[in-house]
Every structure is written in C-alpha cells, then in structure tokens.
C-alpha cells in the first residue's frame, strides 16, 4: 500500500514541522511527504541538521561518526544519531515549488495537483486534476465538488493529511486534527474499471 503524507504551513516553527514529519514517516508509514507551505522550512532544517552532523567538516559524516565512536561522550553520540535519523526522514519530504509553479503527482490513476495557494490556479488547471491539494487555508478541509476533490491539511498546527492507495487500488484521502483524530475522509474508486480477458 502506498502512503503519502501532507504537512500544511508551519509559519517558521521548525520543531512543529519535525514532529509532523516524524509522525507521518515513523507512525503512519509514509513513503513520501509533501510540505505545502511557502517558507524554506525544509532547507533551514536540512542546514541545521548538517551542522549538527558536521557535514561541512572535511571528515564528512563517516569521519564524524568514527571520531565520536572513538572519543565522543554519550550525549554527543545521541545527538549525532538523532540528527542523522532526522536527516534521513527529511530525505522523504518534498516541498511544493514557490508560486506560480505547482507540482503534479500521480496517486495511482488519479492526477493530483499540489500548490501552496489554490488561488493561483485557473479553470484549466483544476479541470485537468482529480485532486487539488493545497496548503494555504485556515483549517483542514476535504470536499468533493463534482468529479474532483479539494483537500488541505490546513496549518500544521491544526493537523495533517494522508493519502493512501488501498488494496483494491482505491484512493483514500484523510484529514487528521492535531491529536491524530480523523476529521474528514473520502474514498475514490479507480477512475477506470480494471478487467482481464481469458480465452
């Protein structure tokens, strides 16, 4: 089963972002997480973690690990291991591009259009998408309008979102609140019927 997570804008709160990402990767088992904010949270967190890991050091990550194993204190080693684990989680995360650019993602046979602010989209953009996923909102929302779904996890402090392709290849979209309770859910059947012909 494929699982994709969505984190709304964090307004510069890097700790909140790290908590949401850790939850989506470690507890929800997401293969990929999209950050729907318009800030540089991913770059800032990556730079901070690289600093903790000493990746700017001429020894590199392996050299730092070896040096810490030989002469490091327990708290230094723990901080190093935590930072390395956080950096590996961060590698599973993608940020939507700055407006007016957008991201197109295939969720099984559905076309998902991802943006920070849905206001930049025109009718043609929306007409070609099955799911419009966006970040700029005051609260989580999951609403089906005609053949398409509009989906936002809202600000990261309000919760997060999850999309999963289920066993029968249906697409399940879920909005969670800050306490990980389901507040909205939509199940989309495959766009086209699948069949086999035997002779």
pLDDT value, residue 75: 73
pLDDT tens column, 48-105:
766 666 655 555 555 555 555 666 667 766 777 777 777 788 888 899 988 888 899 9
Ordered domains of the chain (ranges, CATH) = 2-36+98-188 (3.60.21.10)
Q: How far apart are CA 128 and CA 112, in angstroms?
A: 9
- 3-state SS string for the chain: CEEEEEECCCCCCHHHHHHHHHHHHHHCCCCEEEECCCCCHHHHHHHHHHHHHCCCCCCHHHHHHHHHHHHCCHHHHHHHHHHHHHHHHHCCEEECCCCCCCEEEEECCEEEEEECCHHHCCHHHHHCCCEEEECCCCCCEEEEECCEEEEECCCCCCEEEEEEECCCCCEEEEEEECCCCEEEEEEECCCCCCCCCCC
Neighbouring residues of 48: CB distance < 8 A, sequence distance ≥ 6: 14
pLDDT tens column, 152-163:
999 999 999 999
pLDDT value, residue 47: 77
pLDDT band at 186 (very low <50, low <70, confident <90, very high): very high
pTM for the model? 0.80
Evaluate if residue 165 carries a pLDDT over 60.
yes
Average pLDDT taken over every residue of the chain: 82
């Amino acid at each position: 089963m494929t699982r994709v997570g969505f984190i709304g804008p964090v307004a510069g709160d890097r700790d909140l972002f790290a908590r949401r990402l850790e939850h989506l990767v470690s507890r929800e088992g997401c293969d990929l997480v999209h950050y729907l904010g318009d800030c540089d949270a991913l770059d800032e967190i990556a730079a901070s973690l690289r600093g903790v890991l000493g990746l700017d050091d001429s020894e590199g990550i392996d050299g730092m690990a070896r040096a810490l194993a030989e002469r490091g204190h327990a708290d230094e080693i723990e901080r190093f291991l935590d930072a390395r684990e956080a950096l590996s989680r961060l590698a599973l995360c993608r940020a939507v591009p700055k407006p007016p650019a957008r991201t197109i993602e295939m969720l099984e046979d559905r076309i998902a259009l991802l943006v920070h602010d849905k206001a930049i989209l025109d009718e043609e953009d929306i007409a070609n998408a099955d799911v419009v996923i966006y970040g700029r909102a005051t609260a989580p929302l999951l609403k089906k309008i005609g053949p398409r779904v509009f989906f936002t996890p809202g600000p990261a402090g309000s919760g997060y979102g999850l999309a999963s392709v289920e066993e029968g290849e249906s697409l399940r979209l879920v909005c969670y609140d800050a306490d990980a309770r389901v507040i909205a859910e939509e199940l989309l059947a495959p766009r086209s019927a699948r069949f086999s012909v035997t002779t």
